[in-house]
């Protein structure tokens, strides 16, 4: 043992040679199997192509109104039927994410013309969705409020975090062709049409607190998508920070205002969950 632990320069040289041979062998193996994969390197979408794509999504065409109207019908019926699967289907059909991403992109670029166009499209989409939900609810005549509706009435900071991540993901997916298929998943995560449908349901049923809570959730999703989507575009050199300052400042102010009721709702949720957990533990201990 003492012989093995004794420092011997010859052993050190041999170990270095052995490691060098192993390293060279791995390099040769990698060179043989790796090939020339530079063509797989992912690059952002050219700005001209992204401009055309965002402008196309921001225009309120006939297809936009038709698909959004159908999505509102599906979402309203799913909410009234308390069916999560139907509501998810409505999220995928809805094209409302497109002009909202356009608002984020125009904020980063400082493009006022695109911002006006996309904002007008979003406003028309909001009014259309609420109106369709109002009419459908009035025709059906259901006055019940189930869990799927109530889950969209009291947004918290958790919903803020979801909207933040979804907004960033939506903006990034538009800049990479290889992951553009992720947009339906983003639409499901952020849930734009169901909250607006709940607003229409609340108005049709004469329940203002339901309509207000759902509207608060939608506004949270909207502002977070615009703000964090703009940051993603800016980080990828789409746009200019000086031009985006005003839009980002407005978005920050609105998020701060929305954060007050969201924080209060989060505090109430935590207290409710903790009290319920303590009661369940007490009952379990007593039995």
Residue 223 domain flag:
yes
Per-residue pLDDT tens over the stretch 44-67: 778 888 888 888 888 888 889 999
- Residue 264 sits in a domain whose CATH number is 1.20.1080
At which residue do the structure tokens 């402008």 appear?
55
Tell me how far apart the terminal alpha carbons of the chain are, to the nearest angstrom: 63
Residue 5 domain flag:
no
Q: How many domains does the chain have?
A: 1
Residue 23 domain flag:
no
Question: How far is 15 from 129, CA to CA, in rounded Å?
Answer: 72
- Supply the DSSP symbol for 206: T
CB atoms within 10 A of CB 31: 9
Whether the per-residue pLDDT at 178 is higher than 70: the answer is no
Q: What single string gives the DSSP state of each residue in 6-57?
A: S--HHHHHHHHHHHHHHHHHHHHHHHHHH---GGG---PPPHHHHHHHHHHH
Residue 123 domain flag:
yes
At which residue do the structure tokens 């290889």 appear?
178
Mean pLDDT within 277-285: 73
Out of 67-71, 212-216, 274-278, which region has the weakest mean confidence (pLDDT)?
Answer: 274-278
Residue 36 domain flag:
no
Question: How far is 124 from 99, CA to CA, in rounded Å?
Answer: 11
pLDDT at 136: 94
- Closest by CA to 128, choosing from 175, 152, 103, 95, is 95
3-state SS assignment for residue 240: coil
Residue 42 domain flag:
no
Residue 246 domain flag:
yes
Residue 213 domain flag:
yes
pLDDT band at 11 (very low <50, low <70, confident <90, very high): low
Which domain covers residue 87, as residue numbers? Answer: 47-280
Per-residue pLDDT tens over the stretch 20-45: 777 777 666 555 555 554 544 567 77
């Amino acid at each position: 043992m003492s012989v093995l632990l004794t420092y011997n320069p010859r052993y050190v040289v041999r170990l270095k040679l052995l490691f060098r041979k192993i390293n060279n062998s791995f390099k040769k193996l990698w060179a043989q199997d790796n090939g020339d994969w530079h063509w797989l390197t992912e690059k952002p979408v050219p700005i001209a192509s992204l401009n055309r794509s965002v402008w196309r999504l921001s225009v309120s065409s006939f297809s936009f109104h038709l698909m959004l109207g159908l999505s509102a019908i599906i979402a309203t019926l799913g909410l009234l039927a308390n069916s999560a699967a139907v509501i998810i289907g409505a999220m995928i059909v809805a094209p409302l994410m497109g002009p909202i991403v356009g608002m984020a992109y125009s904020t980063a670029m400082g493009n006022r013309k695109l911002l006006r166009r996309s904002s007008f499209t979003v406003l028309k989409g909001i009014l259309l969705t609420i109106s369709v939900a109002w009419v459908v609810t009035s025709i059906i005549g259901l006055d019940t409020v189930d869990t799927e509706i109530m889950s969209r009435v009291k947004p918290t900071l958790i919903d803020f975090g979801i909207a933040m991540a979804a907004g960033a993901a939506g903006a990034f997916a538009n800049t990479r062709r290889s992951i553009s298929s992720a947009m339906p998943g983003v639409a499901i995560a952020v849930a734009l049409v169901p909250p607006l449908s709940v607003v229409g349901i609340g108005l049709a049923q004469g329940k203002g607190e339901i309509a207000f809570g759902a509207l608060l959730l939608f506004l949270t999703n909207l502002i977070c998508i615009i703000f964090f989507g703009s940051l993603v575009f800016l980080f990828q050199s789409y746009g200019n920070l000086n031009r985006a300052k005003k839009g980002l400042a407005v978005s920050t102010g609105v998020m701060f205002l929305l954060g007050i009721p969201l924080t209060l709702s989060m505090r109430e949720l935590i207290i409710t969950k903790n009290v319920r957990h303590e009661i369940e533990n007490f009952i379990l201990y007593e039995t």
